[in-house]
Amino acid sequence: MNSPLRIGIDCDGVLSDTMPAWVRFFNRADHPHDNINALINSDKWESPEVICPNCFQGILNDYDATLDCDVFPDTSRYVQSLAALADLVFISHRLPSVEQATHDWLALHQIDTCFDKFLFGHQNKAVAAFFECLSYHIDDSPNVAKDFHELDIHLRTKKVPEDRIPKLLLIDRPYNQHSSCYIRFPNLAGPGGAAEFLLATLAEAAASATNIADAA
Ligand SMILES: [Mg+2]
């Protein structure tokens, strides 16, 4: 569809509750954290650059660990609502090796066809968001927040127009608490979620376009 708004959406931690899979991975790796609360409260979350290569990568190579994760409540309904009004781009650090499994998982939750484009294995989602002309990207990663912050500074230094600078909507998670410069949302879906913010933004843009057309 031709839409004035293109929105990027991350998978793990945004669409899906991947935390139980992370715990299983830690357990298989003989990691001492044996339950979700111990893991969340551990100091590992304060070192995302350490946890990402070792833990995250291991999970993403594990089909079973990602496929049996559920989506967060109401996520499918909100993604479908957004897809009716905007172009959605799926952007994940997941490797191309789990691409088909991820499509199967998205289809299981009736949202695979909601996405206009899929980007797997992107190392810098902020740069991808810029080149994909995204207005917004929804993510939970502290590393992605750091990349968006750096890109924002760079683009403003280059005097890139405001509407070409992609904005990050950060999903509030225990492991991104030090990423303080973004609007936080409790989840993608539900009251007060990132999707509601974007749906309101889209409604506002549509009303504005109608007013301009009426005045012409
Ligand atoms: Mg994520």
- Spell out the domains of the chain, with CATH numbers in brackets: 6-16+72-215 (3.40.50.1000), 19-67 (no CATH)
* Cα-based distances in Å from 85 to 36, 58, 67, 151, 153: 36, 35, 28, 27, 30
pLDDT band at 46 (very low <50, low <70, confident <90, very high): very low
Q: Which stretch of 85-89, 100-104, 163-167 has the lowest confidence by average pLDDT?
A: 100-104
Query: Is the per-residue pLDDT at 85 higher than 50?
Result: yes
- Going from the Cα of 4 to the center of ligand 1, the distance in angstroms, rounded, reads 25
Measure the N-to-C terminal CA separation of the chain; round to a whole number of Å: 25
Q: What is the mean pLDDT of residues 198-207?
A: 89
- Going from the Cα of 13 to the center of ligand 1, the distance in angstroms, rounded, reads 5
* Tens-digit pLDDT profile for residues 114-159: 999 999 888 899 999 999 999 999 998 888 999 999 999 999 999 9
Q: How many CB atoms lie within 10 A of CB 115?
A: 19
- Going from the Cα of 148 to the center of ligand 1, the distance in angstroms, rounded, reads 14
Give CA–CA dist 134/6, Å, rounded: 5
Please report where in the chains the tokens 């980007």 appear, as a residue. Answer: 119
| The pair of three-digit structure tokens given for residue 8, joined into one six-digit string | 């990027």
**DSSP run (H or E) holding 216:** none
Q: Which residues surround ligand 1, an ion (CB under 5 A)?
A: 10, 12-13, 140-141
Nearest CA to 168 out of 191, 143, 190, 189 is that of 143
pLDDT number for residue 102: 85
Beta-carbon-side half-sphere exposure of residue 132 (alpha carbons within 13 Å)? 27
Q: Which stretch of 101-105, 143-147, 191-195 has the lowest confidence by average pLDDT?
A: 101-105
Please report where in the chains the tokens 């109608």 appear, as a residue. Answer: 210
pLDDT band at 35 (very low <50, low <70, confident <90, very high): low
The C-alpha angle 115, 105, 62, rounded to 5 degrees, equals: 120
* 69, 55, 137, 130: CA torsion to nearest 10: -140
